[in-house]
Structure 1
Amino acid sequence: MGTGARSGTRTVVLTVVVTMLFLAVATGIGTWAFYDRLNRNLGSGGDIDHLVDEPVDTGPKRPLNILILGTDGRDCEGCSIDGESGVGGSDSTILLHVAADRGSAYGISIPRDALVERPECTAPDGSTIPEASGVMWNEAYALGGPTCTARQAELLTGIPIDHYLALDFAGFRGMVDAVGGVRICIPEAIDDEEHNIFLPAGTRNLRGKQALDYVRNRSSTPNADLGRMRRQQYFLTALATKVLSAGTLTRPRRLATFATELSRSITTDIGSVAGLAELAREMRDLDPGSIEFETVPNEAYPEGDPNWGRLRILPEADEIWQRMLEDRPLHDATASAGPSPTSTAGPGDPGSSASPDEVVDESPTGSTSGSPTGSGTLEERQKDAADNGLCSAR
């Protein structure tokens, strides 16, 4: 069950998390009153207590390493779909490396079930959380929030974490609804009676609870947590594509609503919208289509092992961390783009005659709406898609 294979995706997670706040301020809806409201909405998780010294600057810029966390606090309506109420752990984690020249970036996903070493860290109430060995990755967030997760990431990788951005699922619903839903291709019907999740196969425009169900479900879709990470990346790609479409950017009210929902959902060490906007300006030349994503090389513990059901991060991950430290590309050769939702109008977009929840494509196989088109042969891409609950490219 190793997952070291490349899974590059044409995604704009960075744009979703950072640039939209800048756009909201910079496109005419950014009155001071609106700006202040966004600023008040931002959550602060405190500064990172670094384990790793930041490198000495060697020029006008240095690489940036940003920890992006999808949090699974389940106190919102529809969030507790897997029966794990109130856990508050980091459901998904991406370590995003942005090159010093700001011309390229890649992200490495770390599974929530990976067993790691946790360093001593400080809880939000000021108490000390002791170090521990062989604990699940997401426990750090549940116990100590994003700053503890950042220290844990530094211990695992040896890489200084410059910033963190945590996005909660309660606000995720609001962001999806703010842009009129997101068009997603589902290869096989999701029929999960245990959690009351039913999503028909086909290309559909998902809103509200359906969108949340899609990104949260893991028990009735392929490859459990690892497949869910791929589908979350795919959904964020589709969401960002929708946000950056004319249907959103030319509608100030829609953009303002999205920016408001986004600001309500973020916890970060960056203290203000101005700080996020400055980070966005710094990355204005970054081509979102060039961002690659992979899952850290890992394998499942064998059945019968005391850690069965958990994952072990493989030594091959050290090569990835070294590439980040040396500000080298993820791969020596340029990788092809991966899952990429179509930019054409879909249901809920201007110019589309489809109703918001209408099935647009009854035949998911071969759909052009967000099918994986990454590197490898067609057969390899199709197998990778099938293994992770995504639609296959032709």
Structure 2
Amino acid sequence: MNDEELTDLRRSRNHHPQAHHHRGCMILILFLILLIGGGWLIWRHLNPTSHFSNLKTVSNSTSKIKQSSGTFNVLVIGSDERKNQTDGHTDSMMLVHANLKTHQYHVLSIPRDSRIYMPGLGYTKLTSVQTVYQTKYGAKKGIFKAVQTISSYLNVPINYYLETNYMGFRSMVDAVNGINMDVPFNVTLTHPWYAEDQNKVITKGQHKLNGKMVTEIVHERDSVPGTDFGRQQLQETALVAIINKITDPVNAFKIPALANSMSKFLVATNMSKTDMISIGLAVKDNFDATKQVHYLQLQGKNEVLYDDILENYNDEIVLQQSQLKKIIDQNFSN
């Protein structure tokens, strides 16, 4: 065989279809390994049980409560902060304990008029804590300081905080195309956000509501049973309806999009997009708020007391500390 024939033979071997096939298979296998490995790493990062482990706290709490993996505490704050404002009063507050392993969620409503001590400043109502710190430290640091104070007051570690306002809450409801809300009693709008809704009555029962009307309803307290406690019940009912809408299998694909647009809903938070997506992955299957979400309310005594911040006497709620401790120990410690 001469040199020319040998060269032709080598060329034919190098261009043999089977050689291409084997090379293509190896590349495909390598690609699949990388894809599966990468997917596993992503899942490990987003897997709720491993994602929510060894969490940092925002708080100065001296609580000895130990948090297991897959659990966290989040403080949800609804403020009356308006557009272009840098501070606001707390309209509503809920402490949420999530256990993503057992799929159980405990929600504690904290009355806005609860009497609270602010270190170095004195006693005031819970609703004033946010605006005092934001006026002193600015919006971002102010809400962080407020969360620390509330954590110490409740004596519970807080991992995350979420603050929304009227426009944020309205946008959240509209983002899921409205909700079906089971209004527990007649609600007359005595202090609506919009003048055209003054004295409008929303009757007890099921209603298909848009964001505007939901925010009007959960803001009302003077016309509802128990005033502040009645408003808490309205807020809890609205929250259940929102959760049920988001976790409906039909809307499961919207979870990443909702996480990406959270800036429209939230004024402030220390929760990342991956945190939100991981939570979405945990609750998207077979979620039933009536069985998995447990609402807790605090008891207290209404008293007229001196407010060191406002420098006057006003109506405040003095919470039963023994009941508060019992609720925290039983529902926020696993």
TM-score by length of structure 1 reads 0.55
User: How many Å apart are 1:308 and its aligned residue?
Assistant: 4.7
2:294 aligned partner: 292
Residue identity over aligned pairs, in percent, reads 21
8 Å CA contact retained: 1:48, 1:151:
no
Tell whether 2:209 aligns with 1:218.
Answer: no
Q: What are the equivalent positions in structure 2 for 1:172-191 lying under 5 Å apart?
A: 172-186=169-183, 187-188=185-186, 190=188
8 Å CA contact retained: 1:174, 1:258:
no
Counterpart among 74, 78, 81 of residue 73 in structure 1: 81
Q: Distance in 1 between matches of 2:276 and 2:215?
A: 26
Q: Residues 63 and 309 of structure 1: is their aligned pair in 2 closer, same or farther, counting only changes over 3 Å?
A: same
Q: What are the equivalent positions in structure 2 for 1:200-349 lying under 5 Å apart?
A: 200-201=202-203, 203-246=206-249, 248-249=251-252, 258-259=258-259, 261-266=261-266, 267-270=268-271, 272-281=272-281, 288=289, 289-301=291-303, 307-315=313-321, 316-324=323-331, 326-327=333-334
Which whole-Å deviations, capped at 9, do the CAs of 1:287-331 have from their partners, x for residues lacking one?
A: 64322111222121169998552211112212222335643xxxx
Corresponding pairs, count:
257
Q: Which runs of 5+ in 1 are unaligned?
A: 1-46, 77-84, 120-130, 328-394
1:134 aligned partner: 123
1:169 aligned partner: 166
1:361 aligned partner: none
Q: Distance in 1 between matches of 2:200 and 2:300?
A: 31
8 Å CA contact retained: 1:175, 1:261:
no
Q: Residues 153 and 100 of structure 1: is their aligned pair in 2 closer, same or farther, counting only changes over 3 Å?
A: farther
8 Å CA contact retained: 1:104, 1:287:
no
What's the C-alpha RMSD, in Å, of the aligned pairs? 3.6
Q: Which has the larger radius of gyration?
A: 2
8 Å CA contact retained: 1:118, 1:155:
no
AA aligned to 1:156 is Y
TM-score by length of structure 2 reads 0.64
Task: Give the secondary structure class of the aligned counterpart of 2:315.
Answer: coil
Q: Which runs of 5+ in 2 are unaligned?
A: 1-55, 134-141
Farther-moved stretch of structure 1 (105-114 vs 150-159): 150-159
AA aligned to 1:115 is R
Larger relative contact order (Cα-Cα within 8 Å, sequence gap ≥ 6): 1
